[in-house]
Amino acid sequence: MDCIFCKIIAGEIPSTKVYEDEQVLAFRDIQPAAPVHILVIPKTHLIGAAAITAENSALVAHIFEVIPKIAAAEGITDYRVVTNQGAEAGQTVHHLHFHILPGRTLKGMC
Ligand code: DGP
């Protein structure tokens, strides 16, 4: 599959990993919009938030359990979690991902 994030999961594209388990991978964004900018992705390919269903939402719940652990490990307590659904909303990689971003001022994020 021609998906950048699937290639990162497979180790075909290098990334700076900050967390990994059997369901989830988190790594630093290559174009950080803040001093800490982490992407959290499911290892299962879902195109975005629009693909979340009752059948796979436990995976999304797991991601939201993992996010506070990643934030704590990064030493941040105040942050936002952003997902862009669709090109018109700024989604450039069509594999579900959640941005972890501390701070108020975000270039082009929201
Ligand atoms: P979005 O615009 O919400 O689809 O965010 C996609 C993010 O993915 C964007 O902030 C840049 C990041 N990104 C794209 N390609 C790569 C890559 O190869 N490595 C890493 N670490 N991040 C990437």
Q: Are 74 and 29 in contact (CB under 8 A)?
A: no
Residue 97 designated active-site: yes
Average the pLDDT over each of 11-15, 69-73, 103-107 and give the range with the smallest value: 103-107
pLDDT in tens, 71-87: 999 999 999 999 999 99
Does residue 109 have a pLDDT over 90?
Answer: no
- The predicted-structure confidence for 20-63, as pLDDT tens digits, reads as follows 999 999 999 999 999 999 999 999 999 999 999 999 999 999 99
Strand partners, 25: 20, 41
Cα distance between residue 37 and residue 106, in whole Å:
11
Residues forming beta bridges with residue 81, ordered by sequence position: 100
Is the C-beta atom of 98 inside 6 A of ligand 1? no
**Of 12, 30, 46, 80, which is best to mutate to test ligand 1, by the most ligand atoms within 8 angstroms of its C-beta?**
30
How far apart CA 23 and CA 29 sit, in angstroms, is: 19
Ligand 1 pocket test: which of 92, 94, 97, 110 has the largest number of ligand atoms within 8 Å of its C-beta? Answer: 92
